[in-house]
Structure 1
Amino acid sequence: MTTTLQPAPGASTLLASLPDRQGFGDASLVRHRPGSIDLGGGNPDTGVLPTGLYRDAVRDLTDDPGFASTLRYAPAAGLESLRSVVAAREGVDASRVIVTSGGIHGLALAVLGTLDPGDTVVVDDPVFPLFLRVLDLVGGLDVVPVRVDAQGLDVELLEEGLRDGLRPRALFTVPTFHNPTGATLTAGRAQRLVELAETYGFTVFLDDPYRDIAFAPDAVPERPGAQESDRVISVHTFSKTLGPGLRLGWNVVPEGLAPAHVKLRNRLDGQASGFLQEVVRRVLDRPEHDEQLLVAAAHYRDKAEALVAALGDTLGEQLQVTAPAGGFFVWARPVDLSVDPGRLFDLAQDEGVFVQRGEWFAVDDDTAVRGHLRLSFSEKSVPELQEGVARLGRAWVRARG
C-alpha cells in the first residue's frame, strides 16, 4: 500500500513524488511493549558477530604507523586493500569491485546506473520491499513481477514473457535464501537467466546478502556465469555477517561499467569510511573469520530448526512451513484461509509478538501471499522463538473465534 504526502514548499520533483509506502518497515504499525518478542527483523545475532576480531583489527590498525592516513578521504571505489581482498574472495578483478555503504546503497547505485523513467524492470514476487523504494529514486518505471518458487525466480515463466514481447531494462532477484521465501536459485536457472539477459539485453541485479549463512556446504550452488557476464551486477553487504551498524558492502560490476559507476558513486556519498574499510580488511584477512562464519551458520541453523519445530507443534494444521537451508527467515503459508490476516496481525501484537505480513511483500496484487507470514529466527534465542510461536498460536485461536 502506498500513499503520497503533500510536500512542503520548496520540495524537488523527486522529493514531492516519493510515496509513503506502508507495511514493511513502517514503525507506526509496530506496537512494542515490555516483553514483546519481535520476529520481524533482519538483524544478526550479536552473540555470533566476530567482536574479538574487531578488537584485534582496531588495535592492529591504530598501532600501525600508517593509521592516520585511514582518517583521510578515501577513493570513491574504496581502498585498494579491501577491494583486493574482496575480489580474491569473489574470483574477479579488483577493478570491478566498488565498496559501498551497505546493501541498499549498492542497490541504489545499480538502479541509478541502469534505469531511466519509463523503463521496465522485472522483480521477484514476492519481493524484498525495500527494493521497490529504491526504484522510487527513478520513478515512472513499469514494474513487472515474476513469481518465486522453491527453486528461486521462475526463469521459465520469465522466458515465456520475453517470447511474448516483455522487454525489461533490468531484473532484480535475491538468489540465495530469498527474502522472504528462503528459496535458492538453482545453478540451471541461474545459467539460463544470464543467457536470457545477454540475449535480450537486460541487466540482472543479484542482491545476495545471505550467501554466507548456509546451513550445509552444498546449500549454495555455484553460479560461475553470473560473475563473468557483462549483464550482471551483484550486490553484497557485510550487514548480516559483520553487523549492519558497519554500513559497508560491495558491488561487483561489469568491467566496462566500473569507471562510470565510480563516477556516479563520487556524486552521491562520495566514499565509505577508510578507517572502517581497513578494519574490515584486517578482519577478513584473519583465518578465524571464515571459522566464525561456520559457527554463526550452525547457530542460525539450530534456531531455524527450533522455530520450524515450534510452528509445527503449535500451528501445524494452520500453516505450511518449509525448513530453510540458510539465511534468517521462515516463510509460512496459510492452510486455513478463513483467518483474516489483519486481525491476526493485531491480535498477535496484543499477545506480545510481531511478525511480518505476507501482503507487505507483494508487488501489486497480494492475492498470492495473502495470509502468509515471514518470521525471523536470527536475533532471538530459542526460548524466545518458542514463546513467540506460543503467543502467535494464541492469537490464531482468537482470530478464528
Structure 2
Amino acid sequence: MTDFSTLLAGLPPRQGFGDATLIRLEPGSIDLGGGNPDTALLPVDVYRDAFDAVVTDATFPSLLRYSPAPGLPALRAAIAEREGVDVDRILVTNGGAHGLALAVLSLLDPGDTIVVDDPVYPLFLRVLDLVPGVKVVPLAAGPDGVDLEALAGVLAGGIRPTALFTVPTFQNPSGGTLSDEKAAALVALAEQHGFTIIADDPYREIAFPGFTTPAHRAFRDTDRVLAVNSFSKTLGPGLRLGWLVVPAGTSERITRLRNRLDGQTSGVLQAVVERMLRDDRLAPSIAAAGAGYAAKAGALLSALDEEFGDRVSVAAPGGGFFVWAQLHGDVDTERLFDDAQTLGVTYQRGEWFAAGGADHRGRVRLSYSEPDEASLREGVARLARAYRALA
C-alpha cells in the first residue's frame, strides 16, 4: 500500500458543511443550502460576445500557450483599475479557494495563531488543514462584521495572531458588512499588533438596490491586508477565475509559491474576462442581478415571517446570497434537518459554521440565490412543517 505524506494522511474527511453524504436531494426537493448564483441573472450575452471576439481575433493562438504566472497583463490592469491599486499588486488565481490557499501558505507556519470570523465560512477552516498545527481563535461576527471590542480583548489577553480571516461584505453566513470606519479600525489594530488580515470578499458586488457598499479603502492602503476575491458570484463558479490584491512588494514571492503549485491560469479565460470587464453592459447586468437577488431575499424573508412568526429572528441582508436565521425553541436540530429533507427541503445547519466559540445551534443558513421565488416560499413552508412537528 502506498505510504502517503503526513499532510495527506492527516486530512480529515468533510464533516457537516459540504459533506454530500448528509444531503438528500430527491426529485422535487428544494435546495436552500447551496451557494450557486442564478444562471438566469448571469451576463450570458456578454459571455458569448466576449468568447466570440477572443476566438476570432488573430492573436487567439497565442492564448493557447503557457501564460504568465501572475496573470495576463491586460486582465491584471483591468482588475487593478477596479481595485484602485498598482497593477503589480494583482495576481490572477483559479478561483477564490485557490486564492485562500495561496494566502494561507504565504502567511502561516505550523503552530501559528489565526483569528477567524465566528460564524465562519467552513471551507476556510479546511484550507487551514494545509498548515498542520495552526491554532484557531474564534471572533464573533455580527450584522456589522467582526467584533472589534472582542478582538481588542483577545489582543490584550496576550494572544498574538499571525493573521485574521474575515469576509467583510455580506459575510457568509451571517450577511454582516464591515463599515468603512470599522475596516479602518481593524487595519489600525493589524498595524499595531503585527498581524495580516485575509479579507475574502466574493459577495462585494452583489448589493441590493439602495445599499451603499463600503469601499474599505483602508484595506488597500496598508501592507497588512491580503485580499482574496473571485468572479464566482458575478460571472459563475464554473469560470474558476479570481484574484489576489497582495501587499506592495510581495507579488514576486507569492508568485514563486504559485509556480510550485499550478503555475498559471487559463489564458483563454483571462482574455474572455478582460473583454467582459471592458464591456459597458457588464455593470448594469451585475446591478440588475443585485435587484433580482433582492426580490428573492424579500420572498424568503416574507415566507419566514408568515410561517414562523415570532419563532424566528432574522436580519434582512443588504446583499449577498444568504439569510442567517435563528429558530427559537428547544428543537433537536439534527432531527429537524433530517425531517426537513424527508419533506423535500435542505439547508445548512448553523452548527456547521461554528469556529469554536458559539455553537450556533438553532441557526440555519438559507440561500435565496438559485431557487425562484415560488420555490423559496415552498421550501420555507416545508421547513416550517418539519419544525412544528418537533416543536
**Cα distance in 1, alignment partners of residues 211 and 311 from structure 2:** 31
255-264 or 347-356, larger mean C-alpha shift = 255-264
Residue 44 of structure 1 deviates from its aligned partner by 0.2
Give the aligned partner of residue 388 of structure 2. 397
Pair 1:357-2:349 in alignment? yes
**Cα distance in 1, alignment partners of residues 382 and 20 from structure 2:** 21
Residues 231-270 of structure 1 mapped to structure 2, 5 A cutoff: 231-270=224-263
Residue 387 of structure 1 deviates from its aligned partner by 0.6
Give the aligned partner of residue 315 of structure 1. 308
Give the aligned partner of residue 336 of structure 2. 344
| Kept after mapping to 1: 8 A contact 2:112/2:134 | yes
3-state SS of the aligned residue for 2:202? Answer: coil
Residue 105 of structure 1 deviates from its aligned partner by 0.4
3-state SS of the aligned residue for 1:324? Answer: coil
| Kept after mapping to 1: 8 A contact 2:90/2:245 | yes
Q: Share of identical aligned residues, percent?
A: 57
353-362 or 53-62, larger mean C-alpha shift = 53-62
3-state SS of the aligned residue for 1:21? Answer: coil
**Cα distance in 2, alignment partners of residues 61 and 222 from structure 1:** 32
AA paired with 2:346? F
Q: Deviations over 1:45-99 (max 9, x none)?
A: 0001111111101111111110101111011100001000000000001110000
**Cα distance in 2, alignment partners of residues 365 and 281 from structure 1:** 42
Give the aligned partner of residue 366 of structure 2. 375
Residue 398 of structure 1 deviates from its aligned partner by 1.4
Match of 2:9 among 16, 19, 31: 16
3-state SS of the aligned residue for 1:228? Answer: coil
Give the aligned partner of residue 304 of structure 1. 297
Residue 161 of structure 1 deviates from its aligned partner by 1.3
Residues 6-85 of structure 1 mapped to structure 2, 5 A cutoff: 9-85=2-78
3-state SS of the aligned residue for 2:66? Answer: coil
Q: Deviations over 1:207-266 (max 9, x none)?
A: 000000011354311221111110100000000000000000000001121110111111
Residue 209 to residue 303, structure 1, CA distance change in 2 (3 Å): same
Give the aligned partner of residue 4 of structure 1. none
Residue 358 of structure 1 deviates from its aligned partner by 0.1
Residue 166 of structure 1 deviates from its aligned partner by 1.2
- Unaligned residue ranges in structure 1 (runs of 5+): 1-7
Q: Deviations over 1:147-199 (max 9, x none)?
A: 01221000111012112211000000000000000000111211111011111
- Unaligned residue ranges in structure 2 (runs of 5+): none
3-state SS of the aligned residue for 2:138? Answer: strand
3-state SS of the aligned residue for 2:337? Answer: helix
**Cα distance in 2, alignment partners of residues 106 and 222 from structure 1:** 21
3-state SS of the aligned residue for 1:136? Answer: helix
**Cα distance in 2, alignment partners of residues 353 and 51 from structure 1:** 29
Instruction: Report 1 or 2 for greater relative contact order, CA contacts < 8 Å, sequence distance ≥ 6.
Output: 2
AA paired with 2:9? A
| Kept after mapping to 1: 8 A contact 2:209/2:294 | no
| Kept after mapping to 2: 8 A contact 1:219/1:326 | no
Give the aligned partner of residue 376 of structure 2. 385
Q: Deviations over 1:362-387 (max 9, x none)?
A: 012553x1110000000000000011
Residues 182-193 of structure 1 mapped to structure 2, 5 A cutoff: 182-193=175-186
Give the aligned partner of residue 143 of structure 2. 150
Give the aligned partner of residue 130 of structure 2. 137
Give the aligned partner of residue 276 of structure 1. 269
Pair 1:211-2:204 in alignment? yes
95-104 or 14-23, larger mean C-alpha shift = 14-23
Pair 1:112-2:105 in alignment? yes
Give the aligned partner of residue 168 of structure 1. 161
3-state SS of the aligned residue for 1:317? Answer: helix
Number of residue pairs aligned between Structure 1 and Structure 2: 391
TM-score, normalised by the number of residues in structure 1: 0.96
**Cα distance in 2, alignment partners of residues 344 and 269 from structure 1:** 42
**Cα distance in 2, alignment partners of residues 282 and 89 from structure 1:** 14
Residue 117 of structure 1 deviates from its aligned partner by 0.1
**Cα distance in 2, alignment partners of residues 357 and 115 from structure 1:** 29
Q: Deviations over 1:341-380 (max 9, x none)?
A: 111101100100001000000012553x111000000000
Match of 1:220 among 192, 196, 213: 213
**Cα distance in 1, alignment partners of residues 254 and 283 from structure 2:** 30
AA paired with 1:379? E
Residue 21 of structure 1 deviates from its aligned partner by 3.3
| Kept after mapping to 1: 8 A contact 2:328/2:362 | no
**Cα distance in 2, alignment partners of residues 365 and 227 from structure 1:** 30
